[in-house]
Chain A
Amino acid sequence: MARTPVGPLEYTRRTWMRLTLLATFIFLYAPIVTLVAFSFNDSRRNIVWRGFTLKYYEKALGNSELIEAFVNSLAIALLSTVIATVLGALTALLLWRFRFPFKAGYEGAMALPIVIPEICMGVAMLAFFAKVGWPSGLPWPFSLSAIIIAHVSFSFPFVAVVVRARLAGFNQELAEAAQDLGASEWRVFWDVMVPFMRPGLVAGALLAFTLSLDDFVITFFTSGPDTVTFPVKVYSMVRFSVTPEVNAASTVLILLTVVLTGIALWMQFRQEKDKS
């Protein structure tokens, strides 16, 4: 097979190494691929291939509860991303620019939402909204407010990490030059800092969006009967039974994340090309 003999360090060309790699990728992808494939399968029993059909997509589209949950999920992801991006960017700026007392402690507190188990954050949110008597039964976008708040709380520290990594490469002389030329602090912020931060902001926002769309555990504790999100709805369907309809709905969500990831990667690629 190999034209040249395998060198001592060419581990990837060794057969057993390739087999391990292949087996791992099968392990990672086989479940997802079968899930997608069988959403097109014309059989309720979901195991043997009986021909191509789109009827489960029609069924999923006709399931008003599922559609409502999907719309809720998108609305929550969109709104929480906007707030989380602003708060995350401000956190990054604060930590990047200022030296202040107890900074290490502040950074530690900001990292807490990233490290504590999701279940702990979920029950904390449940206890909090119950304790303050958060109003339920508000008109639509406001009825999602509790979930949005919870999502912002766990995603904005992630945005802060991403934006801060970007800020680490900022050349302070740019801001000083602008100030020397008479720009106010506000102008420097809008015309120098924000454009520089933009790739970090976009990457952070996409991360926040996927985190929000992905979250089940924390949402599970903050959602009520009228505010079901897509993962929560799928969870209740999965507990009930495994149906091709769930496969169809899942495929749509996988597609959505793959497209979003593609956009993120493409933007990163373009940004790296700009630099060189």
Chain B
Amino acid sequence: MENWRRGRSAFWLIGLGPTVWLVLFFLVPLAIVWLYSFAELRGLVDMEVTGTLDNYARALDPLYLGVFGKSVVFAGLTMVVSLIVGFPVALAIVFAPPRWRPVLLLLVILPFWTNLLIRTYALIAVLRVRGFANFTLEWFWDQSNTLLSLLGLGSYQLLGERFEPLELLYNNTAVIIGLVYVHLPFMVLPLYAALEKLDRSLIEAALDLGASQWRAFLTVVVPLSMPGIVSGAILVFIPALGSFLTPDLLGGTDSQMIANVIERQFKSANDWPFGAALSFLLMYLTFAALALRAVVSRGRGGI
């Protein structure tokens, strides 16, 4: 690596374009929003930057604090469910025969290349009342009923008079299902990377010394794959926290996340200063999650 002073002309020639672009079309827009977050509305659309902190104070209103809390809980739940689902998947891929591994990995990544909106739309068709999930359940219900009548129990109507479709869409569960569906690859890939590096003889040693599979998993596999778990957790948590489409399309009126509130301020409520303040609070929350990760990984590195 050379000092920039030694090749000033090359340095400027290479660096000028991207730097100007980043400043003009990214940092300046962010700065504008930041300034707006200290502005007051004057009339319908006009704003005046007065340095007021009212917008931030309003975000502390229980209503909006609740939305922030809900977003964090949703993202946290998504993280936990993805970890529970993703760990066995990553483990199964790592311990699969070598020629199967790339195929299985590709199968995990492939849906990720499909448009997010299309995947969310596909979930709607599966989850709605007259959707495939309920169709499958109804089929099972019919089969069980047939079975019951074959057993001579048909007249008792043990499963109810008729099939009641589940309300799977437009509620909090649908949002969690959607978020897990979208973010699962972010969890599986770092877990796979961590588990692949794991020295298998350590597990063998634990088993040889009499540990049960479960104990070996908890005391050997999990601690050694901690870096992967932390990376995966952060990679799932951060995008899930700022999700807009999933709660918008799959959620009900009470499952709106922070991004939906921000969108409303800018699109329909036309309260840009408040929306700007919420945007920056969301950004600070994201940075806090990133900082936490840095602290955790540094702490581990020190040991």
A214 to B11, CA, bound (A): 34
Task: Decide if A257 touches B114 in the complex (CB within 8 Å).
Answer: yes
> Mind listing 13 A-B residue pairs with CB under 8 Å?
A21-B93, A91-B18, A94-B18, A117-B286, A123-B276, A124-B32, A127-B29, A127-B272, A153-B26, A156-B18, A214-B115, A216-B117, A231-B115
A104 to B286, CA, bound (A): 19
Task: Decide if A20 touches B89 in the complex (CB within 8 Å).
Answer: yes
Interface residues on B, range: 35 or more
Interface centre among A20, A110, A112, A119 (most CB of B within 10 A): A119
Task: Decide if B121 touches A246 in the complex (CB within 8 Å).
Answer: yes
Nearest Cβ on chain A to B124's Cβ, whole angstroms: 6
Give chain A's interface secondary structure class. helix
A52 to B117, CA, bound (A): 25
A143 at the binding interface (Cβ < 8 Å)? no
Task: Decide if B3 touches A99 in the complex (CB within 8 Å).
Answer: yes
Task: Decide if A30 touches B121 in the complex (CB within 8 Å).
Answer: no
Name the segment of A4-12, A62-70, A195-203 touching the other chain: A4-12
Task: Decide if B32 touches A127 in the complex (CB within 8 Å).
Answer: yes
Contact among A8, A156, A213 for B21, CB-based, below 8 A:
A156
Given contacts A9-B203, A98-B11, A99-B4, A116 and B117 within 8 Å (CB-CB): no
A99 to B4, CA, bound (A): 6
Task: Decide if A31 touches B119 in the complex (CB within 8 Å).
Answer: yes
- Which chain A residues border B286 with CB–CB below 8 Å? 115-117
Task: Decide if A254 touches B204 in the complex (CB within 8 Å).
Answer: no
| Per-position binary interface string of chain B over residues 223-267, scored 1 when its CB falls under 8 Å from any chain A CB and 0 otherwise | 000000000000000110110110001000000000100110010
- Which chain A residues border B272 with CB–CB below 8 Å? 127
B96 at the binding interface (Cβ < 8 Å)? yes
From B96, which residue of chain A is reached at the shortest CB distance? A12
Task: Decide if B21 touches A234 in the complex (CB within 8 Å).
Answer: no
Interface residues on A, range: 35 or more
What is the count of residue pairs linking A and B with beta-carbon distances less than 8 angstroms?
Answer: 226
- Which chain B residues border A178 with CB–CB below 8 Å? none
Nearest Cβ on chain B to A183's Cβ, whole angstroms: 14
A90 at the binding interface (Cβ < 8 Å)? yes
| Per-position binary interface string of chain A over residues 127-162, scored 1 when its CB falls under 8 Å from any chain B CB and 0 otherwise | 110010000000000000000011011001000100
A34 at the binding interface (Cβ < 8 Å)? yes
- Which chain A residues border B156 with CB–CB below 8 Å? none
Give the interface of B toward A (CB within 8 A). 1-4, 7, 10-11, 14-15, 17-19, 21-22, 25-30, 32-33, 36, 85, 88-89, 91-93, 95-97, 104, 106-108, 110-111, 113-119, 121-126, 128, 130-132, 135, 181, 184, 200, 203-204, 207, 213, 238-239, 241-242, 244-245, 249, 259, 262-263, 266, 272, 275-276, 279-280, 282-283, 286, 290
Give the interface of A toward B (CB within 8 A). 8-12, 17-18, 20-21, 24-25, 27-32, 34-35, 38, 45-47, 86-88, 90-91, 93-94, 96-100, 106, 109-110, 112-113, 115-121, 123-128, 131, 149-150, 152-153, 156, 160, 185, 210, 213-214, 216-217, 221, 231, 234-235, 238-239, 242, 246, 250, 253-254, 257-258, 261, 265
A92 to B244, CA, bound (A): 31
- Which chain B residues border A238 with CB–CB below 8 Å? 117, 121, 124, 249
Contact among A100, A124, A217, A239 for B29, CB-based, below 8 A:
A124
Task: Decide if B118 touches A253 in the complex (CB within 8 Å).
Answer: yes
Task: Decide if A117 touches B108 in the complex (CB within 8 Å).
Answer: no
Task: Decide if B244 touches A119 in the complex (CB within 8 Å).
Answer: yes
- Which chain B residues border A8 with CB–CB below 8 Å? 204, 207, 213
Task: Decide if A250 touches B118 in the complex (CB within 8 Å).
Answer: yes
Beyond contacts A231-B115, A258-B110, A265-B106: 16 other A-B pairs, Cβ-Cβ < 8 A, are A12-B95, A24-B85, A25-B107, A28-B108, A35-B125, A98-B14, A99-B1, A119-B262, A119-B263, A120-B280, A124-B32, A153-B21, A153-B25, A235-B117, A238-B124, A254-B114
From A246, which residue of chain B is reached at the shortest CB distance? B121
Task: Decide if A98 touches B1 in the complex (CB within 8 Å).
Answer: yes
Task: Decide if A127 touches B36 in the complex (CB within 8 Å).
Answer: yes
A13 to B124, CA, bound (A): 34
- Which chain B residues border A123 with CB–CB below 8 Å? 33, 262, 266, 275-276, 279
Given contacts A120-B283, A153-B21, A261-B113, A34 and B122 within 8 Å (CB-CB): yes
Contact among A124, A213, A217, A239 for B30, CB-based, below 8 A:
A124
Contact among A86, A90, A261 for B15, CB-based, below 8 A:
A90
Nearest Cβ on chain A to B236's Cβ, whole angstroms: 14
- Which chain B residues border A126 with CB–CB below 8 Å? 266
- Which chain A residues border B33 with CB–CB below 8 Å? 120, 123-124, 127
Task: Decide if A17 touches B125 in the complex (CB within 8 Å).
Answer: no
- Which chain A residues border B266 with CB–CB below 8 Å? 123, 126, 221
Contact among B1, B21, B89 for A24, CB-based, below 8 A:
B89
